[in-house]
Amino acid sequence: MSTGPISEQTSPPATPERPPAGPPPPRLGALATVIILGSVMIVLDTTIVAIAYPTLAQEFGAAITTVQWVSSGYTLALAAVIPTAGWAMNRFGNRRVYLTAITAFTLSSALAGLAWSMESLIAFRVVQGLAGGLVSPVGMAVMLQAAAARGRDNGKVMSLLGIPILIAPLTGPLLGGMLIDSVSWRWMFLINVPIGALAIALALRLLPPGEPRSAHRLDVPGLLMLSPGLAALIYGLTRGAEGADGMLTPGALLPAAAGTALMISFALRALRTPEPLVQLRLLAQRRIALGVATVFLFATGYFGSMMLAPIYFQSVRGASVLTAGLLGAPLALASGTVMQVATRLTDKVAPRWIVVPGVLLGLAGFASFALQAQPDTPYWRLMLSMTVIGAGGGMTLMPSIAAATRGLPADRAPAASTLIAICSQIAASLGAAAVSLLMSGRLTESFTTAPATEVTEAVRHGYLWPLASVLLALLVALRVSRDHPDRTDRTA
């Protein structure tokens, strides 16, 4: 009878130890909360300041042309730093870059609220822009990587990223007006401090580590071409949008031409460089190229038209700034509401069947407003036209981005988000300059003093740009994929 050890006869076979399970990835809703808080601050600060020009001019005894640099300095710094976003994310990691940018933006907001002179305010606004330019591309990259990890829900991700687009244009002028009237202009900037502190606390808790993906060197020659080129182009377009002669003045034409030349030089170099600052080779993918082109063309008309209705309501109909903002609410509400539904549908429906009807709605809305606008047109008819425009934007912009980025590998998200941010920034500035140029051709004096009938005609003429650019967007959208999203995911 065997007398072997009992342990050898009864012990179960050894199994390898499993590593402890890591924490589950953050839910999309939690990630979106962090990203939305940061993005709302950035977009809000683009729209909130314009209403304070007269107050700031009186406070510091400065000319309006100087006060405009409170906005222009912010916008130019924002544009100049965006090209570095992709490299910074790959080099330092999404979490680190996002926390640094939000912290710097919050601190510079506090300093702007404590500014003691116009020069100090402009300087702190430039710092705000340098920090804020990184927030949106990094936020989009974080959400795209979350969608890539899940293998689905790309449309849901884009619908969440679109929330700041709804909130900021609607609340910026209204909030600015209330703060100036009730408290002080300083609170337009100080209000960012508690929001930023909350965003930092949530980011520390919820953002995934996002370790650096590569250590390739910064493309310094590319940076020296693209960042100054983008800033010069935006500056020239902004000056063109502000001046009576549009882009025909040297102060607008020369910077815009120099910026365009620098950007073309960058593009030619980027196609020959292994690690360029911005990966233009992404546009070799048909899906991404069509999506970016649709967004660029539609956004040029959509955001360029944003100045027309307020000018009409204030200069032709005699509405106050607050009333004009409220009259524009249907557009923002329709855009945001439709965006949430349409962008999520891109997870279930071929993108062409969403984007093409959206572009057609935009065309119908622009044509309707332009044809109806008269000094005595009933408000409800104009607001209905604006609702149609908003619905068209909601069905076009974020759904196009969702379709373009579907199935994108996680390591390409920083490059894609940077490219989209640059195109969006150029589109908005180009649209504003083009609309201003069309309007100025029909005005014999400033729209603030011109007769109502003349301003009406100028506004209607200004709508030619949105109609033309959105019509071009339709030609591109007709080539967007008819494939079901599941097939796109399998073949990406």
Torsion, CA 22, CA 134, CA 195, CA 168, rounded to 10:
-120
- 282-492 CATH fold: Growth Hormone; Chain: A; (1.20.1250)
Query: In this predicted structure, what is the pLDDT of residue 246?
Result: 61
Locate the domains of the chain by residue range.
26-218, 282-492
SS3 per residue for the chain: CCCCCHHHHHCCCCCCCCCCCCCCCCCHHHHHHHHHHHHHHHHHHHHCCHHHHHHHHHHHCCCHHHHCHHHHHHHHHHHHHHHHHHHHHHHHCHHHHHHHHHHHHHHHHHHHHCCCCHHHHHHHHHHHHHHHHHHHHHHHHHHHHHHHHHCCCHHHHHHHHCHHHHHHHHHHHHHHHHHHHHCCCCHHHHCHHHHHHHHHHHHHHHCCCCCCCCCCCCCHHHHHHHHHHHHHHHHHHHHHHHCCCHHHCHHHHHHHHHHHHHHHHHHHHHCCCCCCCCCHHHHHCHHHHHHHHHHHHHHHHHHHHHHHHHHHHHHHCCCCHHHHHHHCHHHHHHHHHHHHHHHHHCCCCCCHHHHHHHHHHHHHHHHHHHHHCCCCCCHHHHHHHHHHHHHHHHHHHHHHHHHHHCCCCHHHHHHHHHHHHHHHHHHHHHHHHHHHHHHHCCCCCCCCCCCHHHHHHHHHHHCHHHHHHHHHHHHHHCCCCCCCHHHHHHHC
pTM, 2 dp: 0.81
CATH class of the region 26-218 = mainly alpha
Tens of each residue's pLDDT in the chain, 492 residues = 444 444 444 444 444 444 444 455 567 777 888 888 888 888 787 777 766 776 787 888 876 667 777 877 888 888 888 888 888 888 888 889 999 999 999 999 999 999 998 889 999 999 998 998 888 888 888 888 877 776 666 677 777 777 776 666 667 777 777 787 788 889 989 989 999 999 999 989 888 776 666 657 788 888 889 888 888 888 887 777 665 566 677 878 888 899 999 999 999 998 888 888 888 888 888 888 999 999 999 999 998 888 788 888 888 888 876 677 778 888 888 988 898 888 888 888 888 899 999 999 999 999 999 999 998 899 999 999 999 999 999 999 988 888 888 777 777 877 888 888 888 888 887 887 788 778 877 777 766 677 888 888 989 999 999 999 999 999 999 988 776 666 555 545
Supply the angle between the helices 452-462 and 413-440 in degrees, to the nearest 10.
140
Q: What per-residue confidence (pLDDT) applies to 152?
A: 62
Q: What local confidence, expressed as pLDDT, does residue 59 receive?
A: 84
- Whether 282-492 and 26-218 are alike in CATH topology: the answer is yes
C-alpha torsion angle, residues 38, 42, 44, 45 (rounded to 10): 140
